[in-house]
A and B are shown apart, each in its own frame.
Chain A
Amino acid sequence: MFTTNSGEKIFVIDSHIALWDASPANQRNRHGEEFINCFYNYHKISPKEYYWPREKFEKYSEADLMKDLFEEGYVDMAIFQPAYLGEFYKEGFGNLKRNWALIQKHPERLIGNGWWDPRNGEAGLEQLEREAEMFKLKGVKLYTADWHGNSKGYKLSDPWAQRYLEKSIEVGIKNIHVHKGPTILPLNRDAFDVADVDDAASSFPDLNFIVEHCGLPRLDDFCWIATQEPNVYAGLAVASALIHTRRKYFAEIITELLYWLGADRILFGSDYAIWVPKWIIEQFMDLELSDELAAEANHTLSLEVKKKIMAENCARLYDIDIAKQCARLGLPIVEEPVRKDVGVGVG
């Protein structure tokens, strides 16, 4: 929980965390090494006092995760968003079984999403069915730039992706977290194009599409799509980490999102362990929009808006009753405001 200067308690759900193993022992090839190198360079956007040594960054423990999120990081609940990356890592970068082992120790705090890859065909559909049941999946994380044999990516508009989206509904998954990576096929197109999210969101109005790092580096295209599709949400992972080195620029991003999507469709995420949530949350809770930006956003970044972003919007998508959750965690009860009829809850 985060306590404001005025003493108000804020419930926090981190919608984007990972427990990865990128250690040399798990790297399949040079790609595995380069992938974690790239993440480590992103990590350096942190304030210096939060830098991790490389070895820890490659593989950290369950205890590190629990401490960084729930003891020091103000986080009350968190959602695993695993990226498998089977071509780069022997046991996967993110691994559902590892996540599940930790969830079972802390079921009141952790939610585990799954993943699927349309290029796995029929076998993948069966696997999704099994995993949905085994791990009680409410959501999946899709990394469209994942490699698979000779393929270097897929689109949500591919016929097989459509089948996987249908199957997701069938097995009770409602939340599709989409991460656009840098290589999609065909290679001659814009590598970060988000248009396929538009297709999928219109074809599947019963699913929620949370676009991670709010479509960056295609924020303009993303905002445009989100205004057309009410079931498209902005995940703040990555964007939120800019708040330290580029506070003013981050304020501009929030302004855009508030203007185009409103306050009910933005979800906080730290992208742990690229960054720990502590400093991001401290700086975000401290952020105010200038009068000029607030006028552009049609919103102020009020405490009400911050509460929505930090937990309420995500709680709605994952059917989390914040008051009950507070009781379960032994926290002071935070009352939720009357829910607006937006978003599709997980039934």
Chain B
Amino acid sequence: MTLDSPILRSATRLLLPLTLMFSVFLLVRGHNEPGGGFVGGLVAAAAFALVLLVQGRDAARDLLRVDPLSLVAAGLFTALCSGLPPLLAGGAFMTGAWLKTPLPVVGKLGTPVLFDVGVYLVVLGIVMAILFALAEEER
């Protein structure tokens, strides 16, 4: 099942990069403004879902490139690892550790940001895994 129409097709071409950029924007600014890894992941999933609806599951799968469940695993791993650096410094697991100087564009970097990246990946992976599984029928 695809909703293939020239209008949707061209709209997707424009919307996809915009939505993905927006999702990353939400992720990065989440620590200070509304946003964060969870909603960022959902928005990114919505972008891929649009491709899935318009061009079909295989196109969306090719675009995502990796297996969604690997994304979930990578996200969990990232989130888990983000708690480890403080252990080396003698702190408790998951104590936030921050770089002293803020970077341009991104702002201050620290382990909680890395944790949020993990959440982003997990959410994106989960939604895509379920969507792909549901859309499996058209083969």
Question: Does B associate with A?
Answer: no
